[in-house]
Amino acid sequence: MSAHKDMEKWQAAAAKELRGKPLASLTWETPEGITVKPIYTAEDLEGLSTVNTLSGMTPYLRGPSATMYANQAWTIRQYAGFATARESNAFYRKNLAAGQTGLSVAFDLATHRGYDSDHPRVAGDVGKAGVAIDSVEDMKILFDQIPLDKVSVSMTMNGAVLPVLAGYIVAAEEQGVEQSKLAGTIQNDILKEFLTRNTYIYPPRPSMRIVSDIIAYCSKNMPKYNTVSISGYHIMEAGADSVLQTAFTLADGKEYIRAAIDGGLKIDDFAPRLSFFFGVGMNFFMEIAMLRAARYLWQQIVSEFNPTNPRSSVLRTHVQTSGWSLTQQDPYNNIIRTTLEALAAALGGTQSLHTNSFDEAVSLPTPLSSRIARNTQIIIQEESQICHVVDPLGGSYYVESLTASIIKEAKKIMDEIEQLGGMARAIETGMPKMRIEESAARRQARIDQGKDTIVGVNKYKVKEETPIEVLDIPATVRDEQMARIKAIKAGRDNVKVAEALEKITHVAAKGGNLLEAAIVAVRLRATVGEISDAMEKVFGRYAATTRVISGAYASEYGDSDVINNLRARTENFLAKTGRRPRQLVTKMGQDGHDRGIKVVATAYADIGFDVDISPMFQTPEEAAKMAIENDVHVVGVSSLAAGHKTLIPQLIENLKKMGGDDIIVVAGGVIPPADYDFLYEKGVKGIFGPGTAVTDSADKVLQLLEEKYL
């Protein structure tokens, strides 16, 4: 029987089962705008150039190496770092002994932003979301008894990339390891910071120069080291769907190629050492197809620059499971989510993988949750038997069709970016950031309505939550770091340090390689903050303009009773008080993840609030001053980096000092339930944890306002 007649029979059977409903009711449109049919056949693959490829061969769609996991499984590289270097070192050594095969270092936000731990702007950030590194002495402790000529090290660092990479290099030297033997990856992806994560220091142009200087230095001196890890993970976490993540990540990569070539390098000098970092979420087959599509598209991009080394056009990637998909509600569900995401990463062909811990929606991972996360990978590698076959889903009608669809849609966006003049120019126009924020707002609206199921959050809720252990980082970590900085400065040759810092400022202004200059300063015990300040004298410190999109959240609801009711209440507030309810949404401290405040601001504006968004990286004093100057009714604080117990009480105290006692303070984000009572006692009136529907939080805020003013 022909394929056509087979399809006719299937359609008849489906129509019978649907009992009068149209067959189209079984189709589904993904957030990427890709229509998914209920059945795929060989006809869906006809004419696709992506089919019938082989792993390890152009265009690398089925894998970057010929034998993939059948020869060597992916590297288990758990991203971790907390509190002090000594505590993080103990954690690393324990994990390496238990089966982890590479290190991935998480730095605290003070380090990311180029501040030493004794800087007044980082009082609530030191050691909270990663390890605090102030000098090479901290870096030496971090890697104590870890042989850096044998263990590859990935470091997620972009803003303060020069002093941190220099610290790693000097720590290795003093361990007796030559630069040429160092293997691993420095993220060094500053474009992504301007696009999503916001842990930048300098403006885009000098930041791109730093990227180019690192590529040039490492290409010459560290041939085993990956000089840029082009990150889609944070683009996904900010709200991008798989097509946006693919397009923007690869467009960033193309911009780095151009920067390196403009700096005098040839494509084959550096392209083989470029790597990628993708995020995978819960649309299982979409994530698999995304990684396959990305390899295909990257090969096409690099071929435009005429490489002669085949390795130049191979996309090699690290993958991390989604942090945003983790929920505070019914948190043990997160183990299942992470397992599915890890399996998608493996079936998509990743080279290394980090699996998030189930408790990361509430706090830093505990030793127990970290062990479960690591063992998730080990079990997939050693018990599931998926490693014996290269690209086991290759040839699947659905996967191949989905891969082709992502390629097609991502190409459209990349062509649009090229028309704007490349990714750096596109970022200046605000186009990528606005697309991501719109995607995030629409996603939140779908979840809040129950259109997208999140088990335990908007469906199958448990009546009583099981409390989980939370890792708390004490404020004394900052005291320890400040004491170490004082001791280091007392024991070094401060005249030579000053000369080395002046040299960095000169190189920044007149030319030369900044990493080379930073290494000299680090050897003399210059601190991260001092080296960053030396460049800031020339480059300045960048401050982004914050904008809010409108209409995206409400448009996903359509004509909704929920939205209409909230709008009626804001109109009633206006009629009775002469003003709309006005809210300042702020993030204090050095955390740059702004998905939460942008979604909240967009939704509240759509509901009828007047919404102000503070600049990033405010101190509590600055946030209080802005709240009073803008005459707001409410301050909504977003917290993701464990600084809530320090920063929110300071905000409330500053409001009182400045005469803003009547301003209501609410909080949201990653706040452990065990800390709620502490914050309520300090004066917080409402707390909205991860998974709270924005409409529910707006309802609560309006209740507080109505009780106070109506």
Contacting residues for 4 by C-beta, under 8 A, at least 6 apart: none
List the catalytic residue out of 591, 594, 606, 610: 591
List the catalytic residue out of 112, 128, 192, 234: 234
| 289 within 8 A of 406, measured Cβ to Cβ | yes
Distance between the two ends of the chain, CA-based, in angstroms?
Answer: 74
Is 60 one of the annotated active-site residues of the chain?
no
| DSSP E strand boundaries for 542-607 | 582-586
Contacting residues for 620 by C-beta, under 8 A, at least 6 apart: 588, 647, 648, 650, 651, 653, 654
Give yes or no for a cis peptide into 365 (omega within 30° of 0).
no
Q: Across the strands, what pairs with 667? A: 637, 687
List the catalytic residue out of 60, 200, 225, 233: 233
List the catalytic residue out of 112, 254, 433, 587: 587
List the catalytic residue out of 79, 168, 256, 604: 79
List the catalytic residue out of 593, 598, 633, 645: 593
In whole angstroms, give the CA distance from residue 633 to residue 709.
Answer: 10
SS (H, E, C) 125-154: CCCCCCECCCCHHHHHHHCCCCCCCCCCEE
**What is the phi/psi pair of residue 618, to 5°?**
-75, 155
Is 234 one of the annotated active-site residues of the chain?
yes
| 302 within 8 A of 313, measured Cβ to Cβ | yes
CA dist 327 to 364, 454, 558, Å?
A: 14, 9, 26
In whole angstroms, give the CA distance from residue 575 to residue 581.
Answer: 11
Helix pair angle (242-262, 431-449), 10° resolution: 160
Is 593 one of the annotated active-site residues of the chain?
yes
**How do beta strands 28-29 and 35-36 pair?**
antiparallel
In whole angstroms, give the CA distance from residue 514 to residue 511.
Answer: 8
Is 591 one of the annotated active-site residues of the chain?
yes
Sign of CA dihedral 65, 66, 67, 71: negative
Is 233 one of the annotated active-site residues of the chain?
yes
Is 359 one of the annotated active-site residues of the chain?
no
Structure tokens at 647: 């920063």
Helices and strands in the chain, H and E counts: 27, 16
What residues are annotated to the active site?
79, 233-234, 587, 591, 593
